[in-house]
């Protein structure tokens, strides 16, 4: 049975660099999610920021005013809004750039408002030390925008610190030693976070079901 819109979760690939390891990281995370024992009909889909080619915010209306006071005018904004509106919750897979959140990620979040409002979100970061600063910054932004951010925030470090796997990641490749580390140490944390995310999603759907009756 296909999941309803509300029961769909978007796994957002937050890196837009070329080359980038974020695509491989996100696929690995989605494989972890898909491989678990699960009795729900929740559907996870990858959402790649690269595909939307968002410029710096260029609308003539503040996102919080849509649709009450007007609508988006740019096709890229409409496409991004339509995509994000498909999901009832989100997993943000973010790298860390210079001790913070990628600019493209912050920009993409800021393009919208009501599409995000009150929905559950989970942040998974990666980097030389796991991307903890990026995770903290992104969580602060999402919480400020009234998303329900999960307490579980896995930080995925590359094997060996500033070693071969980190340099491979700079070229867009996810090292085997790193994947082995993550399988052992990070998989349980990710699944813990996913369980929390789905619990928040289920709780958020209760008022909607009651309103529909």
Superfamily of domain 5-212, CATH level 4? Flavodoxin domain (3.40.50.360)
For 187-203, how does the pLDDT look when each residue is reduced to its tens digit (9 = 90+)? 999 999 999 999 999 99
Burial category of 157 from C-beta neighbours within 10 Å (exposed 0-12, middle 13-18, buried 19 and up):
buried
Low-confidence ranges of the chain (pLDDT < 50): 1-2
User: What are the C-alpha distances in Å from 163 to residues 17, 38, 204?
Assistant: 21, 36, 43
> What digits encode the pLDDT tens for the residues 165-189?
999 999 999 999 999 999 999 999 9
Q: What is the pLDDT of residue 40?
A: 76
Please state the domain extents for the chain.
Answer: 5-212
The pLDDT score that the predictor gives to residue 205 is 84
The string of pLDDT tens digits covering residues 204-213 is 887 655 555 5
């Amino acid at each position: 049975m296909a999941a309803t819109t509300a029961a769909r979760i978007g796994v957002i690939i937050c890196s837009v660099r070329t080359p980038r390891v974020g695509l491989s990281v996100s696929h690995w995370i989605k494989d972890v999610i898909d491989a678990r024992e699960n009795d729900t009909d929740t559907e996870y889909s990858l959402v790649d920021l690269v595909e939307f080619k968002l410029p710096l915010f260029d609308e003539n209306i503040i996102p919080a005013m849509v649709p009450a006071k007007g609508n988006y005018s740019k096709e890229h904004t409409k496409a991004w809004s339509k995509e994000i509106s498909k999901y009832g919750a989100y997993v943000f897979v973010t790298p860390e750039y210079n001790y913070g959140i990628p600019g493209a990620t912050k920009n993409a979040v800021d393009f919208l408002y009501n599409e995000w409002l009150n929905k559950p979100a989970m942040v998974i970061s990666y980097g030389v030390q796991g991307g903890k600063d990026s995770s903290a910054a992104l969580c602060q932004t999402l919480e400020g925008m009234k998303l329900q951010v999960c307490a579980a925030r896995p930080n995925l470090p590359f094997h060996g610190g500033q070693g071969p796997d980190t340099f491979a990641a700079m070229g867009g490749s996810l090292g085997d030693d790193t994947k082995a580390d993550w399988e052992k140490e990070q998989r349980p944390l990710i699944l813990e976070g996913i369980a929390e995310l789905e619990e928040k999603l289920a709780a958020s759907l209760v008022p909607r079901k009651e309103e529909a009756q």
